[in-house]
Amino acid sequence: MDGSSGGSGGHRFRRIPRQSLAHLKLDPLIDENLEQWPHLNELVQCYRADWVKDENKYGHYESVSPPSFQNQIFEGPDTDIETETRLANARRGKGEDATDDDAPSTSGRQYTDATDVSKHFGISSLPAYEPAFDWENERSLTFGQRLSETPMSHGLKISVKVLSLSFQAGLVEPFYGTICLYNRERREKLSEDFYFRVLPAEMQDAKISYEPRGIFYLDAPSASVCLLIQLERPATEESGVTPSVYSRKEPVHLTEREKQKLQVWSRIMPYRESFAWAIVPLFDNSIGAVSGGSASPSSPLAPSVSGSSSHEGVFEPISKITLDGKLGYSGGSSVIVEISNLNKVKECYTEESLQDPKRKVHKPVKGVLRLDIEKHQTAHADLENISESGSVTNDSIDPGDRATDLTFSKCPSNGSDVPQTSNSKWSYGDGKEISGNGSNAPDFSADDFQAFDFRTTTRNEPFLQLFHCLYVYPSSVSLSRKRNLFIRVELRKDDADVRRQPLEAIHPREPGVSLQKWAHTQVAVGARMAYYHDEIKVSLPAVWTPMHHLLFTFFHVDLQTKLEAPKPVVIGYAALPLSTHAQLRSEISLPIIKELVPHYLQETGKERLDYLEDGKNAFKLRLRLCSSLYPINERIRDFFLEYDRHTLRTSPPWGSELLEAINSLKNVDSTALLQFLHPVLNMLLHLIGNGGETLQVAAFRAMVNILTRVQQESVDDAERNRFLVNYVDYAFDDFGGRQPPVYPGLSTVWGSLARSKAKGYRVGPVYDDVLAMAWFFLELIVKSMALEQTRLFFHGLPLGEDIPPMQLRDGVFRCVMQLYDCLLTEVHERCKKGLSLAKRLNSSLGFFCYDLLSIIEPRQVFELVSLYLDKFSGVCQSVLHDCKLIFLQIVCDHDLYVEMPGRDPSDRNYLSSVLIQEVFLTWDHDDLSQRAKAARILVVLLCKHEFDARYQKPEDKLYIAQLYFPLIGQILDEMPVFYNLNAVEKREVLIVVMEIVRNLDDASLVKAWQQSIARTRLFFKLMEECLILFEHRKPADGMLLGASSRSPVGEGPSSPKYSDRLSPSINNYLSEASRQEVRVSLPS
């Protein structure tokens, strides 16, 4: 038998590289000496480490295809001699044609003579009895069955590429722009800005062949979600060529003098001003019909185009007719968008003011911006499709988004009435078609810009990526006189020396450039009240000091042509300490300082400062902190701080401050708790593993409280919260082997609490919560053991060999045993009270044994199984007996169940012997549902073996039949038990008996009846029962055709009708097996 597919092979764990925000590598500011900040080290490891998935946890099953059925002829009392002869010839032909398969057994067992393996008559009856056996479906019916979860991903990924920008006047100067996801209704940015530029031909660099795309993430399609596009150009020269040349009617083209002036000026002017903006709805399908009568989608990804609002597929190639009547063609999932009504601006603005109905509307720009917008799937299955090398396949993409008979045309624009709806012409094209099998999966370039999704910081779910930056939004500056004002933003470490260079912390706007020392806003030209809409992204240091601050420098620039580039003049400064303001989301107002002096942040230095505008708060700005390293919640920050002190041994040995910080975690609000769930659980587990008894107990209780809160706040009310399942299945890697495994400490502290409860001590309500979350702790213990097993044996293992089972140390196994015993007692006691928690805990204990069978020495697991059966011995209460059946059902579903050893070296499979004993005991039970369940467990197991691709050799089938052979002996010993079953249960039992008998060798089969004459009669009486219960009735008997093979229409004196597949196979088998095979030699 081949156990490699289900065993603890060398590839038990699959490493899954982290996805999505791959560009957020550790910045130099963070990648300092993390060892002096253990909590930071833990956070960074938590976000950077690959996920580790146990491939064995949810079982494997590879089945063979079911055999095809042939029409069969049956012998009856009135069979004529011709049919009789034909049947005999058919039988003789089969015997002569049969050849033994000399291929070795997959089980590795050696037989002296393979030809001794008996080939019994007829094909198996199981395919007829279970024509649609589905292992996944059968195991899903088990109470408390575990379901795997895939890590969170958010439905939609949209890429945007700027193809071209063209003006009627011509493109002679560089243009720059930003694109972001924007919610029109809430007037809120959903993502950071993606920067692009469009250069005239003479300024393009031949070396740069690839223009990056912006990749945006979206939870779900919404009519209010759109792309906000903002264009900039070099600040206008005084008495030079104004931007109005791009919107004038006549003359259409620039004169040579205008072109020359623009080209010269754009080369010496490094500062930019606002030029135009547009809003492109992505999913708005509200715009009505155009000439021709068919609906016209107003946006590239509208539901009418993309097939369904769920966006679970890709676009189908379609042909369409544009407004000018020319036939166009679209292919793939790429949409070309032509934005023709760019809204020109004459003054500086904020993003919030763009949709103000009172806002003055200017002449539209005579030009077109062409974008390539493409929708990509970020399906959950993407993670499952990552190969071991880390490459991604798109098997999950379903080519289900279809659009047919749609007319794509220009959207009607009503000018000033709806300025926010861009006049866009949609057409499909230039897109790579993504086939359903992922053969042409879209591959993103390393140069593509993945825009950070701001909703990541507000969702109620764990942070899975490392991000640590601050977005700065200068809003307005109010001055008493007009200026051409722009602002320089920089991050400084302290204020001691005003001439010291700032930190290189500002993200550049050009691709492929390292972090900068500062960034500039646009120029607000000739404004007393200067408004800005710039976004400046600042990389933050890992740890802030009170002296870290943002410094804003205000410049006036003269926009007149001189012999050299215009030189900005400093007007003033403003400073903002990070430690006090970085968390604020509301608007911040600051005064403007005329000149910087040393220690300008400190109170003593502020007395010597002069201010502009009489010290009024003339400068307003907003900040957006996005960090998975710095928790806004103060209690989590305190816990991290005390964790560092304890780890570095800088706090008193009793750690009272850490105890207080641990206990205060229960008061953390749910969103903050969920966001930092993974690192907090890791740190608590670290303390449970090696924190000393007092800290162990406190950390364990805090962990129970956190898990319970997360579980109770499940949106889907699942018994196993998906965030917790994801943590155990993917994120938890037992600290990557950097410290001792966590399972000994976790078993000890939990076992201690359980024993205290068993001895009658008061343990508080926490114990009920522990039992409710037992599944989590048990799965955590198992994964910790499995990871240790892999690390112990993997590197010294010869290629292709399985990792051997791990022998648990006596002390640890004793602790696990005691904990298991206490939990069994809880199941036993609470079952009697009818509490549902007991059944869930019982299933968790079953899966605990199931998991351990793949990791530790099986005989150690048998000790736990034996302990369970001792606790639930005999025919106990109905609810307790039901728990026992569920437990056995779970454990016996193990991939290597067939190959398990006996409890003693001389014995055969311990689990199968226990199962047979308990199943037979159940048939003697009064509870009808349990009798049916016990029989069903056997049928499902026999079907699983019959169709298992690993066990198709005759010798493998013989071995399995011998495992279950004792069941026939028990039935013959206690025939009244069998006769007490109803017809449905009898058929379940007899189909199992038929399967065992069919695969047995002759010697074993004879043992079934040779003990005595009475035994022989009983055996053949059992065979006779098969004929009666599986009797084939013709349709004329008044029963419906196609009735289920195991669900009778009714029970009466006559046998019900069964499928015309099942009864023939049973009859054929029995008639052939009982017939005396005699070859008649005809006289010559």
Amino acid in the structure at residue 700:
F
Beta bridge partners of 472: 536, 623
CA gap 1004, 918 in Å, rounded: 23
Residues 376-412 pLDDT 10s = 865 444 444 433 333 333 333 333 333 333 222 333 3
Q: What is the 3-state secondary structure (H, E, C) of 441-505?
A: CCCCCCCCEECCEHHHHCCCCCCCCCCEEEEEEEEEEEEEEEEEEEEEEEEECCCCCCCCCCCCC
Amino acid in the structure at residue 972:
L
Phi, psi (rounded to 5 degrees) for 178: -130, 150
Helices and strands (DSSP H and E) totals, the chain: 30, 24
Residues of the chain with pLDDT under 70: 1-11, 19-33, 67-122, 152-154, 205-210, 285-333, 377-445, 563, 605, 651-655, 715-717, 874-875, 1032-1084
In whole angstroms, how far apart are CA 141 and each of 60, 517, 689, 937, 1049?
17, 61, 37, 11, 24
**Type and span of the H or E element at 640:** helix 634-647
Would you state the pLDDT for residue 905? 83
With CA atoms as reference, report the closest residue to 1075 among 125, 127, 128, 122: 122
Amino acid in the structure at residue 961:
A
Would you list the domain boundaries of the chain? 156-450, 468-627
CA gap 409, 407 in Å, rounded: 6
With CA atoms as reference, report the closest residue to 709 among 677, 687, 734: 677
Would you state the pLDDT for residue 316? 28
Amino acid in the structure at residue 262:
L
Would you state the pLDDT for residue 1081? 41
Q: What is the 3-state secondary structure (H, E, C) of 368-418?
A: EEEEEEEEEECCCHHHHCECCCCCECCCCCCCCCCCCCCCCCECCCCHHHC
DSSP 8-state symbol, 364: B
CA gap 317, 192 in Å, rounded: 32
CA gap 32, 539 in Å, rounded: 14
CB atoms within 10 A of CB 828: 18
CB atoms within 10 A of CB 931: 23
With CA atoms as reference, report the closest residue to 728 among 711, 751, 745, 749: 711
CA gap 890, 849 in Å, rounded: 9
CATH 1.10.287.110 fits 468-627, yes or no: no
Token pair belonging to 806: 């791990």
Amino acid in the structure at residue 113:
D
In whole angstroms, how far apart are CA 235 and each of 175, 592, 649, 998?
11, 24, 58, 90
Burial of 886 (0-12, 13-18, 19+ CB in 10 A): buried
Token pair belonging to 550: 């943002």
CA gap 863, 841 in Å, rounded: 19
Residues 450-486 pLDDT 10s = 999 999 999 899 999 899 999 999 999 999 999 999 9
Residue 14, classed as helix, strand or coil, is strand
With CA atoms as reference, report the closest residue to 860 among 824, 912, 820, 807: 807
Would you state the pLDDT for residue 75? 52
DSSP letters, 1000-1025, are: S-HHHHHHTTTT-HHHHHHHHHHHHH
